[in-house]
A and B are shown apart, each in its own frame.
Chain A
Amino acid sequence: MLLQVQNLQLSLKRAGKFISILDDVSFQVQKGETLGIVGESGCGKSMTALSIMRLLPDKAKLAGEVKVGSEVISKLSKKKLEKIRGNQISMIFQDPLTSLNPLHTVGKQIEEALILHTNLTKKERKDRVVELLKEVGLPRAEEMVKEYPHQLSGGMRQRIMIAIAMACRPQLLICDEPTTALDVTVQAQILELMNKLKQENDMGIIMITHDLGVVAEVCNRVMVMYAGKVVEEAEVNELFQRPRHPYTIGLLEAIPRVGERKRTLGSIPGTVPSPQNLPIGCRFADRCKDAMEICRQAQPKTLQLTDDHRVACWLYDERREDLKDDITRNQESKTTLSH
C-alpha cells in the first residue's frame, strides 16, 4: 500500500466559526495505480489533496491519519514533512501560470527541488534538469532552461510543472485538475505524458478532476465526493457500468456524450448545500429522487457492496428498517450532547 488515508476530518474557520469541509474521508492508493477523485466545485476534492500534503490555512483543524508506506505523516512536524513534500509526494495544480514564479527561469525552478532533496553537485543538477525537460517531452531543452514562464505556452508550462513534480522521482503524484485550463488537443498530450511517466516510474497518482471523460481515460479506480463526503468508490469500469449512488447516476446522465444525441439531458435539481448549512441526514437527500424518510434523519454508513465497490446510501442498507428507532434515539442524545 502506497498511501492510506483514514477518517480525514477537516474544518476551516469562516467568519469566526469552524465549518466542516471534509467528513470521514478514507481511501487508499496502490503503487502504479491512478485513483480519480471526482465531484463538483466545493465537494472537497481539492481540500482532500491539500490535507494529505498539509498545505492548509493556519486556522484549519485537521484530524485523521495519513500513512505513506509505513510512515504516518499526519503526525510529523512541519520540518520533517518538508522532507516528504516534493520528494516522496509531489503535487501539480490546475493553473500552471500562477503556480510558476514569473521572476525565475524555468531551469532554476526545477533545480530548486533538487537542491532541497538531493546531494547532487551543481553540474549534476544542471544535467538532471535538462534530462527532466526531455523526459516531459519539451523540445530544445538546453535553451529552455534559461527561459521564463511567460515565454512558454500553457501546455509547455504544465509540462514544466510536471518536470518539477517529477524531479525527485516521487512515489505519489497528486494532480489537481491538471488539464482543466488546457485545450483538448493539449490535454490529450498531457494525459498521455502522465500515463507514460506512471508506467516508467511505477508511481501512484491521485487525479482530481470534474471531468468524467478524463476519469474514464486515465483512472483505475474512482472515488465520488459530494459536500465533503465520499459517496461512492469503485473500479473504473464498474463505476461507469453499475453506478449505485443516485448522485453518481445523476452525474453520469447529465453529461452530454459525443456519438449519442438526446434532446434532454438528465439533470439533478437544486444545488449543493453550503458547508455552513449541512443537513443532519444524507447530504444529497434534498436533491435525490429516491430519498426516503430515513435519508433526512441519519447519515448513511459506507457499505462494501463488493471487493471493489463501496457506497454510502440508505437504498442499499438493509438495516434501514431496523435502525429507524435506534437512529431517532441516537439523534436525541446527540442533540442533548451538543447543547
Chain B
Amino acid sequence: MTLLEIKNLKQHFPISKGFLSEKKYVKAVDGVSFTLNKGETLGIVGESGCGKSSLGRSILRLAEPTSGEIKFKGQDILKFNRKQMKNIRKDMQIVFQDPYASLNPRSTIRSILEAPLKIHGIGNREERMKLIESLVEKIGIRKDQLDNYPHEFSGGQRQRIGIARALTLNPDLIIADEPVSALDVSVQSQVLNLFVELQKEFNLSYIFISHDLSVVQHISDRVAVMYLGKIVELAHVDQLYQNPLHPYTKSLLSALPIPDPSQKRERIILEGDLPSPINPPTGCAFHTRCPVATSDCRTETPALREKQFGHWAACIYV
C-alpha cells in the first residue's frame, strides 16, 4: 500500500540580494519523484550538498517546497492549510542528526516527550504519563530517568529520546535525517537495531537519510542515490549494491573503504568535488566528474527511467 507519493518535487532557495539583480537560486531539490509503501524503508544517500536533507524537510513542509506534489495517504498535503497541516503532522515525524541540539536543555525528558501529546490535545495528564512510560521502556530508558535533563544522558541515549519523541503520536512515517552520524560505532549499532525493532512493532515507514553507504544498506529496503538535487538511481537495496547502473553510484560504492583488509578492489577514483548547486553543470550534472562522460552528456539531461524491473537510473548510457 502506498503511503507517500512524491511527484516532481522542487525546493529552490533564492540567494540573490537586492531586487534589481538577477534572481539566483540554489536548486537544493530539483524534480524528485518516488513512492514509499507502508512499512517500508527508503534510504536516501548522497554526499554533502546533494539535497538529501532539504528533501526530508520539504516533505514535512518544514521548508515550503517551490513546486511539485506530495501525496500522503492519498491527499496532496501541499494544498493543506495550517490547521490541516498540523493535524497530518501527527502522522509524519522527524528524527534529527544532532541529539545534543534537538532536545531542549531546560526541559526534563518527561516534558519533552509530553509536548507533542499536549500540542495535539491527546489524553489527560494521567493517560499521557502512562503512554510516555510505556514508550520509554521500549526504547531502553528507565522510568525513573524521566525527570532527568538531556545533559544527564549520553549521545546514544539522547538519540533514543529523540526517537521516542517522534513515536509519541504514533506516526505512520518517520523521516530520519542522519540519525546515527553523531554516534560511535558501538552505540550506532544499538540505535540502528532499535530502528529495526520499532519498525516491526509499529509497522512504521522510514525515509532514512544518510551519507553512510553501509548504514543505508543495512537499514533500507530500497535506496535512492542523490546527486546535486536529483535522484540519479533508485532500486531495491540488493540490486543497487550488487549491480549499480549509474556511474556515480558505481564510483561511490568503489570509494567506500571496506573494513576487511583481505579484500583488495579496483577503485574508481573520481576527480574534483561536487559542483556548486547554484550553477550546476548543464546536461547531466555528473558529467564534469564522470569517468565515461561524452559530449552528449553535456547537452542532454537524462531522465530517471526504469532500466530494469524496479531499477531506475538517470544516465543516457545505461
Contact = CB atoms under 8 A, between A and B. Distances in A.
Interface in B208-262: 211, 213-215, 217-219, 237-238, 241-242, 251-262
A281 interface: no
B251 A210 contact: no
A233 B137 CA distance: 38
Interface in A258-280: 258-259, 261-269, 271
Nearest to B153: A271
Interface string A177-212: 000000111111101100000000000000000111
Nearest to A42: B184
Given A184-B213, A185-B251, A210 B259 contact: no
A256 interface: yes
Interface string A203-237: 00000001111111101000000000000000011
Given A155-B273, A189-B270, A264-B196, A215 B189 contact: no
Contacts of B188: 254
Contacts, number: 132
Interface string B270-282: 1101100000000
B269 interface: yes
A12 interface: no
A240 B189 contact: no
A331 interface: no
A255 B184 contact: no
A256 B215 CA distance: 6
A241 interface: yes
- Chain B interface secondary structure, helix, strand, loop or mixed? helix
B259 A267 contact: no
Given A40-B185, A216-B261, A250-B186, A187 B214 contact: no
A252 interface: yes
A258 B184 CA distance: 18
B273 A254 contact: no
B48 interface: yes
- Size class of the contact patch on chain B: 35 or more
Contacts of B186: 40, 250-251, 254, 267-268
B193 interface: yes
Contact of A217 (B187, B218, B219, B257): B257
Contact of B189 (A214, A237, A265): A265
B262 A183 contact: no
A11 B154 CA distance: 23
Nearest to A181: B48
A261 B185 contact: no
Contacts of A259: 241-242
Given A240-B262, A255-B185, A265 B218 contact: yes
B192 interface: yes
B261 A188 contact: no
A257 interface: yes
B190 interface: yes
B47 A183 contact: yes
Contacts of A304: none
Interface size classification for chain A: 35 or more
B156 interface: yes
Contacts of B185: 40, 210, 212, 251, 254-255
B128 to A, nearest CB: 29
B192 A216 contact: no
A183 B267 contact: no
Contacts of A210: 184-185
Contact of A41 (B184, B218, B255, B289): B184
Contacts of A40: 184-187
A25 interface: no
A77 B88 CA distance: 67
Contacts of B217: 256, 258, 261
Contact of B47 (A185, A236, A261, A268): A185
Interface string A49-73: 0000000000000000000000000
A153 interface: yes
Contacts of B238: 261
Interface in A136-164: 153-156
A153 B257 contact: no
Interface centre among A211, A236, A267 (most CB of B within 10 A): A267
Contact of B193 (A215, A219, A261, A265): A265
Contact of A267 (B157, B190, B267): B190
A249 to B, nearest CB: 11
B153 to A, nearest CB: 10
A84 B127 CA distance: 67
Contacts of A183: 47-48, 211, 273-274
A250 B74 CA distance: 45
Nearest to A215: B259
Contact of B214 (A185, A186, A237, A258): A258
Contacts of A237: 261-262
B261 A153 contact: no
A186 to B, nearest CB: 6
Nearest to A212: B259
A184 B256 contact: yes
Contacts of B237: 261
5 contacts: A40-B186, A184-B255, A186-B47, A250-B186, A265-B189
Given A188-B270, A258-B256, 20 more contacts: A155-B273, A185-B252, A187-B255, A188-B255, A216-B258, A217-B258, A219-B261, A237-B261, A240-B260, A251-B185, A255-B259, A257-B214, A258-B213, A258-B217, A261-B218, A263-B196, A264-B196, A265-B189, A265-B218, A271-B156
Interface of B: 47-48, 154, 156-157, 184-190, 192-193, 196, 211, 213-215, 217-219, 237-238, 241-242, 251-263, 267, 269-271, 273-274, 289
